[in-house]
Structure 1
């Protein structure tokens, strides 16, 4: 992957006291620092509106960020060395004069990373104020955290604003799913193994499933989530990005634009949905009281910040197609939900049935390749094999590759990997402006279609796998969700 060696970096995190900073950004930077992956000279500057002194910020680091570092990776010495490079500055993102305080903190010859871990409604203020304060240099990169808009118009507005100050080579639209080791392994699995290429297409592939299921509900994010919903929060970005990697043609190289050009072709090839398609091929759901892992869970409408008359979905399952020769008539099933039975992120490639069974009354399951992106980080190929004994009875078996047992080295967290790529100037795992707009152009008509249909989300018990209609959706194609096999 292209990139340059960097000797010095200044990382400025807007939203420096936020949940993302505490849970992901600072722990990831700590691990990179501990393992010697950061440049020799670096500084992290967290900024926000809190009027904190050094003691207040130290409390934030110790009480809010440190608990998200796994015990086996933590040491007092390493934490102290890392936090000595992290400072706090009070700054109102909307006030241009506040940016003058950043000038003396930034080294003129260092790579500058501005990470916008904040609401996208503030992006324009930050971008223009960085520019007016003279903080943009040829070595500057700007990282935009999702959600990147709420529809196509707002996504275009964000792209227009950031492009007025920064070149596309400086812009890093982050989707942390692309930083997951197993998502990247999809590229290696597909294009590094000749045995898969003849099979990775219609009619050998019968269907493709992409599932991201969470056991947690909306928690403290109720107000934000109710204005967003599962379609905007997960499918428009995470699941579509994974679909692109599954479905794209081989890029000429791992050059950022070579990979992203192929992803764009997939997004442009997604079958547009008519209102009739939306009514037939999508299922919306909302969780109601139930149990997750034996713990009682209240329903979505009982969560803090959720209006009683909310029609926001917490679950979506849908069927789509990629209109190319490789994937002609192959259904792609996307599914995501909150308060579900298991925490799972996986891709399932369902291969076609054998044309003729010679095993009498044996019940055959067709072969499937299961790539687990979250939970056990594994790849499993499900096959049929003969049972021991005199008869010729067959049953399912699997060949498994597990990251944890196959590699001894620590796997970088998604944000850790992506932050290092930003520092080194590697854009392959980041979303380009046209990708963002193409994803919204496909997703927005579905959201608008739901409004026209006027149907409320179907209830599903917390701790289940979603509404029964989601199973019926995939069963129409003679398929089943992976956990139902």
Structure 2
């Protein structure tokens, strides 16, 4: 299979927070891999911008250490690293002051594509955007990339969007959600809209329910100060799970175009029904002799912040009327797993005996780990003895099907950064989409705060609170098991 790569013109990528943790772990190693695979044209430059006391050579040493730490040894050959170092530059910049901006302007080339990656805290988004504009650094082909969180609620999201809009057009703003860069998430669109097999069945007439799970084994250690002000609802549901829900439930766009796709996603968010309190479960992980509790990880004596959320919701449109969607996400759970499960209805009439083991078809789309898909179908059990039915999976694990091509494919950050350079906003959130998500999320948070609802404590490395299991059990359904 031959990979078709869209070439790009020379560009400048300026990383604000270029010596930070995200830059070191994800952005810079990803850019090295794109350079190694020939996707960075001659003349492209990567400029680190931070308060760190570094010069160009110091930043190059920092980047080389990051690459050697987070890229496989077989890809870290000396010749490629030496060539990559030549693309790297550094400017010491004070985001809230005036120091360094003149030098950054001197180094800028406004006649080419400029991507400014805001790998910094949200409080710096506005000041950096303002200085890029007022100091004449951003040219006509400038794009800015902002990391979540996109606000803390609807009001702060609107304020942030307004601030960015003062200096950049919406077509220049790329709100990055790394989940949308995952190979399997994009394959969800290919599965739905590139195959006649599934789309006619992708509706309330044939689908019993849909589950979306994002489970993590890690706790909040190291992020306690941020997380305790956020919680799972703001940190995961409002963005990551909302995006997975939209891609799963949206109508076919007229074409694979950024605004066409995002228009359909926005319709889903606006069609979400309010959630009743009995359809929402919040949890907070406990500790044991070997594992710290949430309170210990967050370094607080008491907290009502949730590290786990499960919910049942409905979409008020013709395609999904009456079909429940079950979402759950949490930390310190049994396994690391992200998965979308489409459970189809049982056949309207069975010609087989009731005890033959026949059950409904189920499509599972695994985002991590072991990316792939499997479809559970019913067949006759081999051998004599009558018509005995069993369920078997038709498994397409991408690593098995695609081999080295998958292993060498870009990760989420790499893919999304190159989309920024190409000017492709399809996998990035639009401002009205972010605000609509907060408009749905805020009343849920306000309701449990008004009721002084406390999260249920659950055991570490479990499946979460028992109440989350009952969310499906009371409907005669079961969660798919959390497993590696």
Q: Secondary structure at the match of 2:374?
A: strand
2:307 is matched with: 314
CA distance in 2, matches of 1:179, 1:455: 35
1:237 is matched with: 239
Matched, 1:380 2:374: yes
Counterpart pick for 2:386 among 361, 377, 391: 391
Counterpart pick for 2:326 among 330, 333, 347: 333
Gaps of 5+ in 1: none
State the 1:83 CA deviation: 2.4
| TM-score, L = length of structure 2 | 0.94
Aligned length: 474
CA distance in 2, matches of 1:235, 1:179: 17
Q: Secondary structure at the match of 1:154?
A: helix
CA distance in 2, matches of 1:482, 1:475: 12
Counterpart pick for 1:361 among 349, 355, 378: 355
State the 1:50 CA deviation: 1.6
State the 1:5 CA deviation: 5.3
1:254 is matched with: 256
State the 1:306 CA deviation: 2.8
State the 1:288 CA deviation: 1.0
CA distance in 2, matches of 1:484, 1:171: 36
Q: Secondary structure at the match of 2:96?
A: coil
Q: Secondary structure at the match of 1:41?
A: coil
State the 1:6 CA deviation: 3.4
1:451 is matched with: 449
| TM-score, L = length of structure 1 | 0.94
Q: Which has the higher contact order (CA 8 A, sep 6+)?
A: 1
2:473 is matched with: 475
45-54 vs 133-142, which moves further: 45-54
Q: Deviations over 1:390-441 (max 9, x none)?
A: 2222111011112112224222100000000000101111101110000111
State the 1:364 CA deviation: 3.4
State the 1:219 CA deviation: 2.2
Matched, 1:142 2:135: no
CA distance in 2, matches of 1:178, 1:213: 17
Asked if the contact 1:96/1:133 (under 8 Å) is kept, the reply is: no
Q: How does 1:84-483 map to 2 (within 5 A)?
A: 84-273=86-275, 277=276, 279-290=277-288, 296-303=290-297, 305-357=298-350, 358-389=352-383, 390-407=385-402, 408-409=404-405, 410-483=408-481
Return closer, same or farther for 1:65/1:154 CA change in 2, 3 Å cut-off: farther
Return closer, same or farther for 1:152/1:65 CA change in 2, 3 Å cut-off: farther
39-48 vs 229-238, which moves further: 39-48
CA distance in 2, matches of 1:338, 1:135: 41
